[in-house]
Structure 1
Amino acid sequence: MAFPGLQHVALTVSDLERSTTWYAALFGADPVLDEDEDGGRFHHTVFALDGGMLFGLHTHQGRESRDRFDEQRTGLDHVSFAAGSHAELEQWARKLTELGIEHDGIKKSHYGSGISFRDPDGIALEFFAFPES
């Protein structure tokens, strides 16, 4: 049996409205779901990305720690979005700049190239493309 791919990612954010607006601009799309979960423990706003993957933003009804994200803490290091080519990375770099999102430019390595940036809570994000053959 093959191990399945990721179906969704959910991030806890400190300000759902701010993060929803920020991610909607980044994704160029509105959420497909915005509701309290059945038990009332959290609220989620969900975006549908290409390839069938979902990307969720959660708030835990005021119980969030409100700590800034730190990739050195055990847990999430970063979330990476697939780019198909170096040319696509260049397009994303331009879009991030147009949106006023700070980034490090395209960094190249033997295993691929990427652009690192952060969301309003400081959560580390990246666009990544494998080396072109």
Structure 2
Amino acid sequence: MTSTETRPALAGFHHFSATVSDVEASAAWYERVFGMSRVPAPFPHYGDPDSGYGVILLDPGTGLCIGLHHHRDNTGEPADERRCGLDHVAFQVPSRGDLEAWASWLDALGIAHSGVNDTDDPMPYSALIFRDPDNVQLEIFHMDAPG
């Protein structure tokens, strides 16, 4: 096979970045909810460093990163998955029991959520849904491995 017939390698999911209305408030929220550590230096926007910056949060156990971005021209509208852009982000957990633990964790933090939802349509999975301070929908997700 030639290189154009085979998809290049992927190693996993690295990060997601969201534009937020208040970088400091959002960083504090994500640090509290996900227990992530903030990378000390802000990151300028690639190709347009004068437009704003990003703050990066890192989970050292998994390597997952969350970028929270300030844009100079942001009008502060809340996120809405019904418009073009990000619909939601889902974080995988090893077992359904972990979803119950997350529901308890969010309860302890006073964060509203859907409770654990189980479905078989169109395939079996379970999800816990909640929102960040800018209304970005987040999910904690479990699906048994096929087979």
After TM superposition, the score normalised by the length of structure 1 is 0.89
How many Å apart are 1:43 and its aligned residue? Answer: 1.6
Q: How does 1:85-104 map to 2 (within 5 A)?
A: 85-104=95-114
Identity of aligned residues (%): 36
1:29 maps to what in 2?
36
Unpaired segments ≥5 residues, structure 1? none
1:77 maps to what in 2?
87
Which protein is bigger by CA-based radius of gyration? 2
Moved more, 120-129 or 50-59: 50-59
2:134 maps to what in 1?
121
Provide the C-alpha distance between the structure 2 equivalents of 1:16 and 1:120, rounded to a whole number of angstroms.
10
The runs of at least 4 aligned residues of structure 1 exceeding 6 Å deviation read none
How many Å apart are 1:35 and its aligned residue? Answer: 1.3
How many Å apart are 1:36 and its aligned residue? Answer: 4.6
Residues 72 and 88 (structure 1 numbering): CA distance in 2 closer, same or farther, change over 3 Å?
same
How many Å apart are 1:53 and its aligned residue? Answer: 2.3
Instruction: Report the RMSD for the aligned CA atoms in angstroms.
Output: 1.8
Determine if the alignment matches structure 1 residue 53 to structure 2 residue 53. Answer: no
1:4-63 deviation per Cα after TM superposition (whole angstroms, max 9, x unaligned): 2332211000011110111010111331244151723222111113432211100013x1
Verify the 8 A CA contact 1:113 1:130 in the aligned structure 2: yes
Verify the 8 A CA contact 1:45 1:58 in the aligned structure 2: yes
After TM superposition, the score normalised by the length of structure 2 is 0.81
Unpaired segments ≥5 residues, structure 2? 1-6
Determine if the alignment matches structure 1 residue 66 to structure 2 residue 76. Answer: yes
